[in-house]
Amino acid sequence: MSKLAIHGGEPVRTKPFPEWPRPTSELKDAIISTLENEGWGVGSQAIARFEEKFAEFHDAKYCISTSSGTTALWVALKAAGVKAGDEVIVPPYTFIATASAVLMANAVPIFVDIDENTFNIDPELIEDAITGKTKAIMPVHIAGNPVDMDRILSIGIKHNIPIIEDAAQAHGAEWKNNKVGALGTGGIFSFQTSKNMSAGEGGAIVSNNETFYDICYSYHNCGRTKGGAFYEHQFLGGNFRLNAMASSMLIPQIDTVQEDMTLRDKNRKKLDDALGQLDGITINIAYRGTTRQSNHIYLTRYKSEYFNGIPREKFYKAMQAEGVYTYMGYTPLYREKLFVTDGNEYPWLKDYDFASLEFPVTERLADEEAVWLKQNHLLGNEEDTQDIIDAFEKVTSAMSINPELFKD
């Protein structure tokens, strides 16, 4: 066994993984064409073309582009009927926007623990969290791995609660051969820099529900209504529109994201096959109804009991020294300072004690087990993927055989 790089040995890898986001000639041409030939904002055909193509890509009738995934969440919640003091069920293991958008709608995020095998909200725990104040359920397709939509949609139907999919990481992901996003009342996507489709910033809402779509349009466009006068405002909306340059960047990516997905699928399978054989590393699984993941993040779990109790953070450092950047990812949302709330600013939260919350699966995964690889690690060639495997094998072998090397 070769000496670990963290202890002075040669690293498995010294070159970077594929660049992301990825500037291409198609993106540059699209931006220049819009710059020279089309409007830059309201009314631009670039925006209309993107919305039409993205709706089609995601098996939806309607799409509204927005300034970010966060604003898309707020707009979707308001269009679903969420009002001040209402409750919205969300997972605690996700990006902060899932919960902060609920707060921005003057509502209360009600956290439900996650399934350790998928990192997604545990559908078996959702009904226990439903109260008379529950006005929406917002599952998150973490890492582009679809939640159990059959189970969650059945709960929504049973209790007459809208399902809003947070598909910010799930471009192109499928549940039973249908794209996620418009399986419930509606769903949102993000085009922030790290996402599998990127315009630097941006978002979108997709839906098959015309009424929901019309209300989303109003909330994202200063309260204007479809067919109404330009200075007629019926809702307290904002300017949450996507600009034409960002739209033009996203249009060619609707084609390239599908090519990237094929490559990610191939490299994901190779990683799963190899890392699934390592004692102490558990690969993430998908629910039976999942027919495709988007692989925005490659998730595994580190089990320290297989490595003589060596903490995960030492595993990260050893992997990073080998040239493969693994890291912990999310912390439980309810621990964020955001939820140490001021009663004068958030009076609707005065009866909720977020500091007392405990969700054992979320906390174990976040604090001890979760291992993340960014999606660009899945965009390389066979040699790149083999380097990831070699680094995992090298580090875990050393931890198992020579644990004394990892003592403080």
Exposed / middle / buried, residue 280 (Cβ in 10 Å: 0-12, 13-18, 19+): middle
pLDDT at 39: 83
pLDDT at 43: 85
pLDDT at 378: 98
H-run or E-run covering 174: strand 174-175
Strands of the sheet containing 164-166, edge to edge, are 62-66, 203-207, 186-190, 164-166
Distance of CA 193 to the CA centre of its chain: 12
Measured CA to CA, the distance from residue 370 to residue 182 in angstroms comes to 29
3-state secondary structure of 347: helix
For residue 45, the 8-state DSSP code is H
Q: Residue 242's closest CA among 180, 197, 295?
A: 197
List, run by run, the mean pLDDT of 10-residue segments along the chain (408 residues). Answer: 91 96 94 91 92 98 98 98 97 98 96 98 98 98 98 98 98 98 98 97 98 97 84 87 97 96 98 98 98 98 96 97 98 90 83 94 98 97 98 96 85
pLDDT at 23: 92
pLDDT at 1: 61
Residue with tokens 């439903």: 130
Measured CA to CA, the distance from residue 224 to residue 376 in angstroms comes to 39
Measured CA to CA, the distance from residue 298 to residue 374 in angstroms comes to 6
Pick among 3.40.50.1970, 2.60.120.20, 3.40.640.10, 3.30.420.40: CATH of 25-253? 3.40.640.10
Torsion of CA 154, 155, 160, 165, to 10 degrees: -90
pLDDT at 3: 93
Distance of CA 21 to the CA centre of its chain: 16
**CA triplet 179, 137, 364: central angle to 5 degrees?**
90
Is the backbone peptide bond immediately before 21 cis, with ω within 30 degrees of 0?
Answer: yes
Architecture in CATH of 254-406? Alpha-Beta Complex (3.90)
Length of the chain: 408
